[in-house]
Structure 1
Amino acid sequence: MQALDALDYKILEVLQVNNMTSQRDIGDQIGLSAPAVQRRIVRLREMGAIRADIAVLNPEYLGSPITIVVQVEMEADKVALINKTKEKFKQTPQVQQCYYVTGEVDFILIILVHTMKEYEMLTHELFFNNPNVKRFKSSISMDMVKVGLTVPIP
């Protein structure tokens, strides 16, 4: 991994708030020319510091999906079984976030569905049909108080 300097961090701060900010505006804010900002952004993408340029959608405009936080406990800690489960979670569009964690459970998932029937079918696909899932616990979100979309910059 290449080291980032103070100007790289400043560019990343601006882009993660609004990646549509022009290179000229970024340059004006941090004291670089637009071409210098462009070169740095290209390098940040190539090195993997910027993973993706995406649009963050408002769920209310898409039928207000239900957010469910799921804790999953696995039967066995065998690497092959854990990796297979990770891949299944990655490939499932309703799984918005997946964390492999320490503690009493093995995974914490953030799932978005449009109906409880959809969630019921998903539980069969992800949990009941996976012999390595010991148990899972679902918590339905009543209100999205805060969604973090930025990474703290050192």
Structure 2
Amino acid sequence: MDDTDLHILRLVQSNSRLTADAISAEVNLSPPAVQKRLKKLRETGVIEREIAVLSPSKLGRDMTVIVEVNLERESRAHLDAFKKRMRDTPSVQQCYYTTGEADFLLILTVKDIKEYEAFTQTHFMDESNVSRFRTAVVMDRVKASLDVL
């Protein structure tokens, strides 16, 4: 990976709909050369996926919640089961297995406190392996990004 690849990545990271023509004008390569580089970046997994970033509030998901979760048991089977449940739950935007005070850190978007309460009932209170969870409700989304470069 060279500086041109990094430049291409910065461009598509901010706007994945840029055409090869538009990118080529920025990086001083031909459109076919840009397409070849993009293909390689996708095939090697540097570009994991290309998505649309949706507005939670415009879709009625006005509440963002950050949750620290502690498990009772941390065997591979228990960890894998919790990870799978979080992956399969649409309201969970991000889930991190962490070191420190909490075993997991979750970021969720929900419609309201009632929906969050139902989430906690299903995924924490009815789950015998969750020993504790701590919730922080986001008051203002100052920055939300998955940018790497």
Q: TM-score, normalised by structure 2?
A: 0.95
2:13 partner letter? Q
Counterparts of 1:38-49 in structure 2 under 5 Å? 38-49=35-46
Q: Give the Å deviation of 1:64.
A: 4.4
1:30 to 6, 14, 27: 27
1:23 partner letter? A
Q: TM-score, normalised by structure 1?
A: 0.92
1:21 partner letter? L
In 2: Cα distance, 1:77 partner to 1:6 partner? 42
Unaligned runs of 5+ in 2: none
3-state SS of 1:150 partner: coil
In 2: Cα distance, 1:109 partner to 1:58 partner? 19
In 2: Cα distance, 1:89 partner to 1:63 partner? 21
Superimposed CA distance per residue, residues 59-113 of structure 1 (whole angstroms, 9 cap, x where no aligned partner): 2321242000000011122111011101110110000000110001100000111
Unaligned runs of 5+ in 1: none
3-state SS of 1:111 partner: strand
Evaluate the alpha carbon distance shift between residue 125 and residue 64 of structure 1 in structure 2; reply closer, same or farther with a 3 A threshold: closer
2:96 to 95, 99, 119: 99
Q: Give the Å deviation of 1:118.
A: 1.1
Percent identity reads 43
In 2: Cα distance, 1:63 partner to 1:80 partner? 35
3-state SS of 2:85 partner: helix
In 2: Cα distance, 1:105 partner to 1:9 partner? 34
1:117 to 108, 114, 119: 114
In 2: Cα distance, 1:132 partner to 1:38 partner? 48
In 1: Cα distance, 2:60 partner to 2:80 partner? 33
Evaluate the alpha carbon distance shift between residue 81 and residue 64 of structure 1 in structure 2; reply closer, same or farther with a 3 A threshold: closer
2:38 partner letter? I
In 2: Cα distance, 1:86 partner to 1:48 partner? 22
**Equivalent residue pairs, number:** 149
